[in-house]
Amino acid sequence: MKAVCLLSGGLDSATATAVARREGFDCYTLAFDYGQRHRVELAAAERVARSLGSVEHVVMPVNLRKFGNSALTADIAVPKGREQAEMASQIPVTYVPARNTVFLSIALAWAEVLESSDIFIGVNALDYSGYPDCRPEYIAAFETMANLATKAGVEGRTRVRIHTPLMALDKAGIIQLGRTLGVDYSLTHSCYDPDELGRPCGACDSCLLRAKGFAEAGLPDPALTK
Amino acid sequence: MKAVCLLSGGLDSATATAVARREGFDCYTLAFDYGQRHRVELAAAERVARSLGSVEHVVMPVNLRKFGNSALTADIAVPKGREQAEMASQIPVTYVPARNTVFLSIALAWAEVLESSDIFIGVNALDYSGYPDCRPEYIAAFETMANLATKAGVEGRTRVRIHTPLMALDKAGIIQLGRTLGVDYSLTHSCYDPDELGRPCGACDSCLLRAKGFAEAGLPDPALTK
């Protein structure tokens, strides 16, 4: 049984991929070079793919910089030191327009080629940064669309499923789950705005959510102590 | 008012873009370099974009060849001389997995950046080649998903619309519509399997549907007579 797993190199997608593996799937991992300023995450994705036994790891270039307009792809400052209530209350400039839709669509293309009907994505609706395309109602609508879009769906041979094993977990819960599955978090990268050496800034939304997760899980962050 | 128009360089998307222009939209046209064997269509898309007054024409590379498995992207023979009943009865090898989903998703990303909520696509459910992602129920499901995926949709500022002005037309009807809108069909390219000089094979599904359309419209194909 094959599954396509979106793997960014961060903590969430590593954990979601580990869940897919535990459920018995052969994992085909997919990362995107979309012009992100934190390209260092692509190296992390490769390390994580290898450590989790990915059958094939593809890095797909999709140059969303051609459209601009996000702090993750254009030259807008990444916000720092935000409170979590602030993160949840509005969509931040780090939101990349339609990113998860683009990523899931390309995952769907690969799944169809592999004759797989299972796609894993590490979105979660609790400790997140206010992005619309992380919510359960969005994922459900994508799944409905995907089943009308594809050959297998139309022929009734199978039903595409978008798996979101982290949807109901907070960051600490994700880390605890990953630990039981043997995820090596020292290999992951979360920061939106690393320095030239790839070291995390410690103050962007992604760094703050990660730090809070490890603190609440009662564990040190192995990426900081190595 | 801005619209993103998917523009492949073929007859249908040229006509759909002309409809958007007639409806008063400023058209931002989007073509894809997805590893298609008929890359000559990209030059046609640029010509058509210019002739229809596109504000900006973007060619986005998305290398679907990385996944393979379609006659349009891999080294599988393009079927020739098929009857239309045969085309409609099964999904052909020229189907590119999840292609329209990938294209519409990237169009959605651009629309969001442009603060546009209108996307035009030249799909039609009559004279088509049996692709699942050309049917009205698929388009409706994509639209629902898109409104949950985006910032504007979530904030209730606007409603994304996927316009399919050709959905209920046959090929002859599309050509007649385009003629009234001043589309220069000599600029378009339809063939899936052109020769080295970009000349159409005359026997693939796309050539046969095009020829039938011009015949039924009672018009010569200007791309053949120029």
Phi/psi at B203 (5° precision)? -130, -10
pLDDT band with cut points at 50, 70 and 90 for residue A99: confident
Q: Say if residues A52 and B52 touch (Cβ distance below 8 Å).
A: no
* Amino acid letter, B53: G
Give residue-wise pLDDT tens across range A109-132.
999 888 899 999 999 877 565 678
Torsion sign (Cα): A13, A16, A17, A18: positive
Could you say which of A58, A105, A148 has the minimum Cβ distance to residue B137?
A148
Q: What is the ipTM of this complex?
A: 0.87
How far apart CA B160 and CA B115 sit, in angstroms, is 10
Q: Say if residues A12 and A46 touch (Cβ distance below 8 Å).
A: no
How far apart CA A170 and CA A172 sit, in angstroms, is 6
**In this predicted structure, which of A12-16, A68-72, B110-114 has the lowest mean pLDDT?**
A68-72
A76 touches chain B (CB under 8 A): no
Q: Which residues of B touch A105 (CB under 8 A)?
A: 98, 101-102, 104-105
Query: In the CATH scheme, what is the homologous superfamily, with its name and number, of domain B2-225?
Result: HUPs (3.40.50.620)
- The pLDDT of B194-212, averaged and rounded, is 89
Query: A106, B146: Cβ pair inside 8 Å?
Result: no
- What's the pLDDT at A98? 85
Locate A108 and state its tokens.
């769907």
- The pLDDT of B17-23, averaged and rounded, is 98
**In this predicted structure, which of B124-128, B185-189, B210-214 has the lowest mean pLDDT?**
B124-128
- What's the pLDDT at A91? 57
pLDDT of B65 higher than 70: yes
pLDDT of B92 higher than 70: no
| Mean of per-residue pLDDT scores for chain B | 87
**In this predicted structure, which of A93-107, B40-54, B189-203, B209-223 has the lowest mean pLDDT?**
A93-107
Radius of gyration (Cα) for chain B, nearest Å?
17
Measure in Å the smallest separation between the Cα of A57 and chain B Cα atoms.
Answer: 11
Could you say which of B100, B108, B132 has the minimum Cβ distance to residue A98?
B108
- What's the pLDDT at B131? 74
Query: B132, A151: Cβ pair inside 8 Å?
Result: yes
Q: What does the DSSP 8-state code read for residue A53? A: T
- What global pTM score does this model have? 0.89
Question: In terms of Cα–Cα distance, which of A172, A149, A169 is closest to A159?
Answer: A149
- The pLDDT of B76-94, averaged and rounded, is 64
Alpha-carbon distance values, A78 to A64, A189, A203, A209, A213 (Å): 17, 16, 9, 15, 21
Domain ranges of chain B: 2-225
Q: Say if residues A42 and A30 touch (Cβ distance below 8 Å).
A: no
pLDDT of B72 higher than 70: no
Query: B148, A141: Cβ pair inside 8 Å?
Result: yes
- What's the pLDDT at A122? 96
Chain B CA closest to residue A141: B145
Q: Say if residues B161 and B5 touch (Cβ distance below 8 Å).
A: no
Query: B113, A69: Cβ pair inside 8 Å?
Result: yes
B158 touches chain A (CB under 8 A): no
pLDDT of A163 higher than 90: yes
Could you say which of B61, B133, B151 has the minimum Cβ distance to residue A149?
B133
Half-sphere exposure of A95 (CA within 13 A, CB side): 23
- The pLDDT of A94-121, averaged and rounded, is 89
Kindly state the greatest CA–CA separation across chain A: 52
- What's the pLDDT at A176? 97
How far apart CA A91 and CA A84 sit, in angstroms, is 12
Q: Which residues of B touch A110 (CB under 8 A)?
A: 67, 97
pLDDT band with cut points at 50, 70 and 90 for residue B94: low
pLDDT of B93 higher than 80: no
Could you say which of B68, B106, B113 has the minimum Cβ distance to residue A102?
B106
Give residue-wise pLDDT tens across range B1-11.
999 999 999 99
pLDDT of B84 higher than 70: no
Measure in Å the smallest separation between the Cα of B183 and chain A Cα atoms.
Answer: 28
3-class secondary structure, A2: strand
Chain A, window 134-153: residues with a beta carbon less than 8 angstroms from a chain B beta carbon: 135, 137-138, 141-142, 144-146, 148-151, 153
A90 touches chain B (CB under 8 A): no
List, in order, residues 6 or more apart from A173 with CB less than 8 Å away: none
